[in-house]
Chains A and B, each alone.
Chain A
């Protein structure tokens, strides 16, 4: 594992899970551009200290928001593919009564994105290795897959007449996760957009006041107290933005 002070490990982990073609240089460019944007804006609005604060914040927020957007898109697609794959597996299991046999039978019918995982498991089984699904990337993307794979392992080890029920349960879990995301979007999306807009509006307002250069606001931009006030307001706003983000993340993660 990479030390967290060298690269933001979680970001790379997510990029890897989403299968995005982004190297460290790519991340460096994104991080640098976002930071530079923040620094320019901060120096324009206040001083170098505000610039440094904004650089740090934007270098955190812009790549994070972009990744979140990509994650939502990918999650939706992968979830529907996994549901389809597990449904196929259940049909085959009903016919042959063994999970490994069912995997071999359904392999040609699996969606392309999911097939390599099952192929890997079949290869492992043929090589005499223990049944251990390696899907760390998709587990990270779809946390409910951990549960589905636990069920698959249980089914493989114990078998039993209720195997079909376990696969039904796995499908149910995946579908439920999709429903949850929809419900979550309905309830929380408005508030999240509100946060983003209010944060952006604050910066636009400051930029407008700065560019207009009205004498009424010269105290705000040309005195140490005014600069301090802007810095304080920015720190409070950034704190609120990060708090909202983390709160939502904790529930959806």
Chain B
């Protein structure tokens, strides 16, 4: 293939990336919860999940902002490699530029997903202790807000700033309903929504049997966590099947290719 063909292939890929972005981002605004009803039951598409991740890390921003940055980085790498390819007429430069562009394009998304997953896991770990901490302190006569403030140390240091901001919000706004809703929407997990609903109820409604409710919610959370872990374990053998299949294929194919190489040498003599 000559350089012109490589350039055309490269441009086709660039066009495809642009089109894909154009189609994937249908909305520039932060979607409301009602816009994606599947989100309520955890059946989210990859795109919606990424939107949730962006919202968790950068409140008020959308996937569009990240995609824009990704595209800029990818195009930058491609534009840097393109002149080298055109000047040297070496197809390898186009390939390197393309691979670099793909890598740089994927990097911000990967980082955001990773960080959001870590934060979610930290919250996942924190909820049982939050329940117990609040329950124990409230049964000792501490007010709900004070119980929440004192539970700060039970939270992983990576998510503590989020918790501090929330506590500040709840103390300054004077409207626990809005504060809890904002917080649970930002975390975006069913556990957060349940905790927020329960605490909001405890803070706004008098005469609720708080201890019993908190204990029931805590038991439910524990059960959910156990089930989630079992599900992950049951899924793991299926996921580990692929590397084993590759190992098996290598085991079979390498000698076959070896014999094939030798035979092709002999056949070449006769042909």
Whether the Cβ atoms of A190 and B237 lie closer than 8 Å is yes
Whether the Cβ atoms of A160 and B140 lie closer than 8 Å is yes
Q: B244 contacts which chain A residues (CB < 8 A)?
A: 191, 194-195, 198, 240, 244
Judge if A184 is at the interface, Cβ distance under 8 Å: yes
Judge if B257 is at the interface, Cβ distance under 8 Å: yes
Interface residues on A, range: 35 or more
What's the Cα separation between A126 and B24 when bound, in Å? 64
Whether the Cβ atoms of B237 and A236 lie closer than 8 Å is no
Most B CB contacts (10 A, CB to CB) among A147, A169, A191 go to A191
Whether the Cβ atoms of A247 and B239 lie closer than 8 Å is yes
Whether the Cβ atoms of B139 and A187 lie closer than 8 Å is no
Closest to A243 in B: B243
Binds A, one of B26-34, B193-201, B225-233: B225-233
Binds B, one of A11-19, A60-68, A223-231: A223-231
Kindly identify which residue among B132, B140, B234, B240 contacts A195, using a CB–CB cutoff of 8 Å. B240
Q: A243 contacts which chain B residues (CB < 8 A)?
A: 243
Whether the Cβ atoms of A154 and B133 lie closer than 8 Å is yes
Mark each residue of chain A from 155 to 167: 1 if its CB lies under 8 Å from any CB of chain B, else 0: 1001111100010
Q: A151 contacts which chain B residues (CB < 8 A)?
A: 129, 132
Kindly identify which residue among B136, B248, B258 contacts A219, using a CB–CB cutoff of 8 Å. B258
Judge if B236 is at the interface, Cβ distance under 8 Å: yes
What's the Cα separation between A184 and B133 when bound, in Å? 30
Q: B90 contacts which chain A residues (CB < 8 A)?
A: none
Q: Please name 20 pairs of A and B residues whose Cβ atoms are closer than 8 Å in the assembled complex, sorted by A.
A: A158-B133, A158-B137, A159-B140, A160-B136, A160-B139, A162-B139, A166-B132, A191-B240, A198-B248, A201-B251, A209-B255, A209-B258, A216-B263, A217-B259, A226-B261, A233-B250, A233-B254, A241-B243, A244-B244, A248-B236
Interface residues, chain B, with chain A CB atoms under 8 Å away: 128-129, 132-133, 135-137, 139-140, 154, 226, 229-230, 232-234, 236-237, 239-241, 243-244, 246-248, 250-251, 254-255, 257-259, 261-263, 265
> Can you add 15 more A-B contacts, CB < 8 Å, to A216-B262, A237-B247?
A147-B129, A158-B136, A158-B140, A188-B236, A198-B244, A198-B251, A209-B255, A215-B262, A225-B261, A233-B250, A236-B246, A244-B244, A247-B239, A247-B240, A251-B236
